[in-house]
A and B are shown apart, each in its own frame.
Chain A
């Protein structure tokens, strides 16, 4: 997946209002967003993300590290 597209999807899932988000942007993930993220990673990267792992995510870069930079073009 293109990194640009990945960031757009994350922006929509987390309802981020900032126009420009980057790897350092801080994020909050509520229970509904958790479900959306789980589905997003399962569908696009065949990766299962646990609730514990979701709780550790603080910034966009944590999400990128989870899928692996190599999986983003």
Chain B
């Protein structure tokens, strides 16, 4: 007995922040550099009253409509920007979607590696017969936590939610997983205040990244260069270990979908690992980095554009905040 992805849908909030709008806010900003090197021209931004759960709900409705399914028996929600510290967002989602109270529901807190970890959990629940059809949702509104004068992060991150239906299958279409964590890098991408350790501070000191970007400890802080160092030092090995665990060679994989962090980083990783351009997904031009949603959005894009087809083997790799990383090979 195995598991497979049955359907994927996503939802992007209506609000947008495009290059022209960014240029208006930051007249000195080199927008061409962002478009060329980072590969982002526009990002979707959740409305002031629109939460990650609102996005999650809409993505869920989309996937339920696409698949015509009504027998979901488990909800897993991956978010780092929950509506509440407690209760669990997935429980609220169960009620909003009108699903029976007999189903299981849980949240987990991961970012860019979240989709791979979620698939790993789904596989476990399905193979252990704890569930037979799982609604796995990713949803984040990072933009609510970015300082208004942090043009770097405002140009990178976008808001989004995705919903994937994962079911039991005779064939094991979710392959072997390779997961990793390194908490020593916890402060490379962090919101320091507002949790149990540090209270939200209305008078938080304004800090500078050093190149005109500002933040406070109430906001997202990202040490981009160190995240990049972590990525180039760890991800090539993650890919070779994942291929080994799945008894495949690089050439046996039809398509590679990595977390869509930024175009430059992706291209550098592609070259370092030795993946042909035509087998490698890079498309974050209209969405930006949507954290745990980038991989399912990319899968959806690749399916729609027929870059991947039924029977293809696709390597998925997520990496970032935590620090955390994971990869697997799925069959479409």
Stretch among A4-12, A17-25, A30-38 lining the B interface: A30-38
> A38–B209 contact, CB under 8 A?
no
Flag the segment in B51-59, B226-234, B314-322 that touches A.
B226-234
Are the CB atoms of B226 and A42 closer together than 8 Å?
A: no
Q: Does A57 contact B (CB under 8 A)?
A: no
Partner of B229, one of A30, A36, A38: A38
> How far apart sit A1 and B125, CA to CA, in the bound complex (Å)?
53
B228 touches A48 (CB 8 A): no
Q: Is the CB of A51 within 8 A of B225?
A: yes
Q: Which of A30, A35, A49 contacts B265 (CB 8 A)?
A: A35
Residues of A within 8 A of B264 (CB): 32, 35-36, 39
Q: Which B-chain residue is minimally distant from A49 (CB atoms)?
A: B229
- Bits for B255-285, please: 1 = Cβ < 8 Å to A, else 0: 0000000001100100110000000000000
How many residues on the A side are at the interface (Cβ–Cβ under 8 A)? 16
B232 touches A51 (CB 8 A): no
Closest Cβ–Cβ distance, residue B155 to chain A (whole Å): 10
Taking CB atoms and an 8 Å cut-off, the chain A residues in 32-60 that contact chain B are 32, 34-36, 38-39, 42-43, 48-51, 54-55
Shortest beta-carbon distance, B116 to chain A, in Å? 23
Q: Decide if B224 touches A42 in the complex (CB within 8 Å).
A: no
Note all chain A residues with C-beta closer than 8 A to B271.
43
Contact of B268 among A30, A39, A51, A55 (CB under 8 A): A39
Give residues in A with beta carbon < 8 Å to B: 30-32, 34-36, 38-39, 42-43, 48-51, 54-55
